[in-house]
Amino acid sequence: MNNSIKLQLEANKNYTWCTCGLSSRLPFCNGKHSDTGLRPLIFSVNKTKNYLLCTCQRTQDAPFCDGSHK
């Protein structure tokens, strides 16, 4: 998947963003990174609302989409 995905995230809840791109649950980690040397990015947000999350792993503003997939 080389796009962004809009999801509602809850404030002050921890999420794990996939950094390897192998997860079947993108943009979230499912543990497929175990042989890659990569680790997921653990993050939270301050406000419950919709966010655009990166699914191409090229963003410079991880885990948020910055349009790098274009």
Predicted confidence (pLDDT) per residue in 43-58, tens digit: 999 999 999 999 988 8
- Residue 20 domain-assigned (yes or no): yes
Instruction: Print the domain residue range for 19.
Output: 4-54
pTM for this model (two decimals): 0.86
- Residue 33 domain-assigned (yes or no): yes
Calculate the CA 62 to chain-centre distance.
7
* Mean pLDDT rounded to a whole number for the chain: 91
Domain count, the chain: 1
- Residue 26 domain-assigned (yes or no): yes
Give rounded-to-5 percent helix, strand, coil for the chain.
Answer: 5, 30, 65
Tokens standing for 56?
């191409």
* 17 confidence band (pLDDT: 50, 70, 90): very high
- Residue 25 domain-assigned (yes or no): yes
The answer for residues whose C-beta is within 8 angstroms of residue 5's C-beta and 6 or more apart is: 26, 27, 52, 53, 55
